[in-house]
Amino acid sequence: MILVTTGLVFSILSPIVGLVLRGFMHRQDLSNPLVFMIPINFTLENYQVAFEMMRYPETLWLTMRHALAVTIIQTMVCALAGYGFARFNFPGRNLLFGVVIMTIVVPIEAISTSLFMQFRFFDIFGIFSIFTGERGINLHNTISPMYILAFAGAGVRSGLFVFIFRQFFKNMPKEFEESAFIDGANKVRTFVSIILPNALPAIVTVFLFTLVWQYNDITYSGILLPSINLMPNMLRTLGSNIYILSDIQDMTWINLVVQTAVVLVIAPMVIIYLFLQKLFIEGVERSGIVG
C-alpha cells in the first residue's frame, strides 16, 4: 500500500516539481545533455522575464478581482438553484434538471459561435433594438458577459455546481427546515439563516471549483474578452510577445519562460487551496460527487 501511494504521489507531483525546477535553468542547461530536471546553473532570469512580461502584479490583481466577483455571484445563484431542485416540487422539475445535466455534457466549443454572437449583438427580447434602432449592444471585449452568465446560472461549469448543491441539500435532514417553519420563519429566512450556514462545506467546494475555473478559464475569456489582460490571455500571448520584444530569439528558451509563467499563474490557487483544503475535502465527500 505504501509503494502504491508513493508511486501515485510521485506520478502526480513529478511534473509539477519538474516545472518549478526547470524555471531555474540557465539557457546553457537547455543544451546540456547531462541536465534532466535539476539545473546546474541556477538563475532567476526566467522568472524575472515572465514576471515582467506578464505585468504580474497588475494582471494578478485584475484577474483575482474579476474571478472573485464572478465566483461569489455564481456560487449564490447555483446554491439557490440547487436548493430549489432538492426541496421544491414543481411541474417540469425533472425535465429542467435534465437540461442542467445536459449543460455539463455539451462542450463549450459546440456553442462558442452562438455565445459570441449572443454578446456581440446583445439584446433582451428585442428591447434594445426598439430604443436604439440597432441590432443590439456590443458587449464583446467587456467584463459584462461573464457577470450576465453568472447571474443567469449559465457560467463556467454552472450545471456541475447546481448538481453538487442539489446532492448536498438532498442529504440534509428536513428537520432543520421543519423546525424553522414551526418557529415562524419563511422559506427565504430558512434558506439564509439555517440552510446556508449548514452548507458551508458545499459552498467552499463550489467556491474553490468556480474560482479555479474562472481564474484559469481560457475558453470563455478567449471568446468573450480576448483583449482584457487576464492571466489566461496574457499567458496565451506571452511567447509571441517575448519573441517580438526580446533580443533573444531562442524558441527553446522562450518556451521555457512560458512554462515558468505557468508556475506563477498556478501559485495563487495552490496557496488558496492549502488554507481551505479541509473544508474542500469535506464538501466533496458530502456532496455526492465521489464514489
DSSP string over 30-59: HT-TT-SSS-SSB-SHHHHHHHHHTTHHHH
CA distances from 145 to 196, 208, 217, 234, 237 (A): 27, 21, 14, 19, 22
pLDDT of residue 253: 83
User: Length of the chain, please?
Assistant: 291
Q: Are 136 and 118 in contact (CB under 8 A)?
A: no
Kindly give the parts of the chain with pLDDT less than 70.
1, 132-133, 279-280, 282-291
pLDDT of residue 181: 80
Q: Which domains occur in the chain, in start order?
A: 20-25+40-286 (1.10.3720.10)
- 151-170 pLDDT tens trace: 988 888 888 899 989 988 88
**Mind giving me the DSSP string for 74-142?**
HHHHHHHHHHHHHH---TTHHHHHHHHHHHHHS-GGGGHHHHHHHHHTB-STTHHHHHHSSS-B--TTS
pLDDT of residue 75: 93
